[in-house]
Structure 1
Amino acid sequence: MGRGTGMRRRGDQMAKWRIPGLAARPRFTSRATVLVLVLCSLVAILVYPARQYIAQRGEIADQRAKAEHARQQVDELRRARARWQDPEYVKAQARERLHYALPGETPFVSVAPPPAPGDKQSAADATGHPKAARPWYSSFWDSVDAADTALAAPPAVP
């Protein structure tokens, strides 16, 4: 017996269980198709509100973080205000910032001596940064003019 005959017998056995006059049912019925369409439409309808909900939750978290930062700033400003209410703190700040001295004290302010005219650091201040004798754009245009005249001048012959 070959394979084909065994399959045919099995098919024959299944055939006797079928009800005569009924055709084989399709895989998807109309009810299943309508159910799938309804589910797909529900998903499509709910996507936009879900996305909006997630975006709004992010915005709420950002606003809460900003509110917490503002609350911290307010606390810091309250502490600063409380410090300024203390007369000793006010005196210390006046001495430090305004160079005030109490009666009977001799205040000293150290000033760097002016640089000598022949000194190499005459163009630098006490911090070591070079001083600009004129605005930067003036120096820039002078360098452009110097480069232009150097190109226009004929080369010197030895």
Structure 2
Amino acid sequence: MHTIGARLKEEREGAGLSQAEVMEVTGVTRKTLFNYESGERSPDAEFLAKVHAAGFDTQYVLTGVRLRPMGIEIEDVRRTAETAYQMVQAGGLAVSGQQFAQMMVALLNAPQAAANAAPAGSATTIHGQVGKHAQVITGNGNIQTGMRQQKTPKKTQ
């Protein structure tokens, strides 16, 4: 498990900032920043407020839980929702809101699928946990639950 210091360093490096740049923004010394990042000391509220203003996810630094996953933008979420919806429609699947949300999470955790949002009926595939079962759902209507695979019936138009 990462410490506050390790997560602080991760955020700094993820932002592409040097220690000197963080020191300038926050007004702390090199030794203080080193102590924060090494876990020798915990950052104070004033420091955290300054790095938050600089774009650090301070919730992640403190708790290890991100406000929003790194690298996921609103456009990624829109495209992912569209892909998941198309997959449900193409497969004629009846899914609950919770299952749809789990599909979204699986797609968002597979950037190649979300980035290459495919049209309905294509072979886009998501892997994930839906309910108590691991499932693979493809845009062409195949659903694999556990070790069994079933073909969903196509809707007649």
Q: Same fold (TM over 0.5)?
A: no
TM-score by length of 2: 0.23
The higher radius of gyration belongs to 1
Query: Which structure carries more strand by proportion?
Result: 2
TM-score by length of 1: 0.23
Query: Which structure carries more helix by proportion?
Result: 1
